């Protein structure tokens, strides 16, 4: 009788391992992979910034890029031409100027 329990016990362990692997793969495809795609898209957006681009920051500030230096972006806002310096990771959206 003890020998009959042994195969059932190892079968339940294998079943548990399969379930853990299944949920691990599901987490990868539902959480990690989409996050990697978003990170890559954000890096591409930051690397494509040019002077003259109209941007929106994560704080909601809207303006035109007037200077890019290392990891800092200077944005000119409003009619008074206020200049604000942001880290490049703070740029949320870029509206490229229309080129004719």
pLDDT digits (tens, 9 = 90+) for 50-96: 999 999 999 999 999 999 999 999 999 988 999 999 999 999 999 87
pTM over 0.85? The answer is no
Residue whose pair of structure tokens reads 């100027």 in the numeric block:
97
Query: What distance in Å separates the CA atoms of residue 7 and residue 77, rounded to the nearest whole number?
Result: 72
pLDDT tens-digit readout, 2-41:
444 456 678 889 999 999 999 999 999 999 999 999 999 9
Query: What distance in Å separates the CA atoms of residue 40 and residue 25, rounded to the nearest whole number?
Result: 21
Query: What distance in Å separates the CA atoms of residue 22 and residue 47, rounded to the nearest whole number?
Result: 37
Beta strands in the chain (DSSP E): 54-57, 62-69, 72-77, 82-87, 91-95
């Amino acid at each position: 009788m003890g020998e009959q329990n042994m195969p059932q016990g190892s079968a339940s362990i294998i079943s548990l391992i399969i379930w853990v692997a299944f949920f691990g793969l599901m987490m990868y495809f539902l959480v990690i992979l989409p996050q990697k795609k978003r990170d890559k898209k954000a890096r591409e957006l930051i690397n494509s910034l040019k002077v003259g681009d109209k941007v929106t920051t994560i704080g909601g500030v809207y303006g035109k890029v007037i200077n890019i230096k290392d990891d800092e972006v200077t944005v000119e806002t409003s009619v008074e031409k206020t200049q604000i310096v942001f880290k490049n990771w703070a740029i949320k959206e870029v509206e490229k100027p229309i080129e004719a």
